[in-house]
Structure 1
Amino acid sequence: MAMSNYLLHLYQKTLKLPFGRQLFSMMFARKAPYFRTIRPTIRELRPNYCELTFKKRKSVENHIGTVHAIALCNGLEMAMGALAEASIPKHLRWIPKGMNVQYTAKANSDIRIIAETSPEAWVCGDLPVAVTGFRSDGTPVITGEIIIYISEKPVKADR
């Protein structure tokens, strides 16, 4: 599956280039402009798993100097989106349906986000994708799930 998936193919191709992770991450972040606000780097991408990081800096901080909740959610959504695009079977499509998160600790450092799901989960209906954000000391700062709706792609009519 790895090479038949366009996103995994692009990821592997860019990893061979200087600054390949950064290049791939910038390209993927263009899919939704708000992803770029956190300046993420996708560290690992494979079917059913995505890990990304972003730095704590002034533009993602809130009034108390920790990483803002929306910046954290942007990271969660980007990791889930990359996982979904890298994992979904070709005959299916997905769309976000909901997000449930809990803020579990102060996000006072750089952030690492993980999104993961099981290979068996890719069937029509609701799919909850587990998402977690961690401080640099390994403490979870945000946990939750993003629910995506999976459906069959419409059959294209012959012309």
Structure 2
Amino acid sequence: MPPVLALFRRITRWPGGHWLFSRAVCLKAPYFATIAPRFVTLEPGRCEVRMRDRRRVHNHLGTVHAIALCNLAELSAGVMTDASLPTGMRWIPKGMSVEYLKKAKGTMHAVAIPDRPLVDADTGYDAPVTVAIRDEAGDTVFRARIAMWVSPRPPRTEARAG
């Protein structure tokens, strides 16, 4: 089981575990703390993250800023990919296309799902992830397609003494 998935399953059994897991992810990738995410669901092939409506994620119009939505999409796609990869594989985002469909107001709820299953391979491959972000009414306000590059981890080399 991927370490991030094992941590999520273990820590979210505790009271306050979803908050604690979200903080742990933000310690590992500090930039995402700017949107104060809250992980709701994490399983192979699916990640759901909420972002509360707060002034610090607003634009000059009083709606959720486009880049805050991009951050939420990248975070949910990345953690979903990490939780879904076979052992020995790694990932990195290499591009993102986005659609702004409606004014984003209120709490946002992102759902990240891979376009096809992530598999073990001898060479790298493209693994697109679709993220839909909905408002409190359930309307999709934003959609992203994130191009993930998945490749084998390089073999570990033995550390030499002296």
Aligned to 1:38: 35
1:21-76 superposed Cα distances (whole Å, 9 cap, x missing partner): 00001101222222111111000000010001011110000000000001111100
- For the pair 1:115 / 2:112, whether they are aligned, the reply is yes
Counting only pairs closer than 5 Å after superposition, residues 4-19 of structure 1 correspond to structure 2 as 4-19=1-16
Supply the distance in 1 between the matched residues of 2:69 and 2:148 (Cα, whole angstroms).
Answer: 18
Supply the distance in 1 between the matched residues of 2:156 and 2:62 (Cα, whole angstroms).
Answer: 51
Unaligned runs of 5+ in 2: none
TM norm structure 1: 0.92
Aligned to 1:83: 80
Closer, same or farther: CA 72–89 of 1 in aligned 2, 3 Å: same
TM superposition shift of 1:13: 1.1
- What secondary structure does 2:83 align onto? helix
TM superposition shift of 1:148: 0.8
TM superposition shift of 1:85: 1.1
**8-17 or 40-49: which moved more?**
8-17
Aligned to 1:133: 133
RMSD of Structure 2 on Structure 1 (CA): 1.4
Structure 2 letter corresponding to 1:138: G
**119-128 or 25-34: which moved more?**
119-128
Aligned to 1:22: 19
Unaligned runs of 5+ in 1: none
Q: Is the 1:29–1:78 Cα contact (8 Å) retained in structure 2?
A: no
Supply the distance in 2 between the matched residues of 1:94 and 1:34 (Cα, whole angstroms).
Answer: 18
Structure 2 letter corresponding to 1:144: A
Aligned to 2:156: 156
Structure 1 segments of 4+ aligned residues over 2 angstroms from their partners: 118-124, 156-159
State the identity %.
38
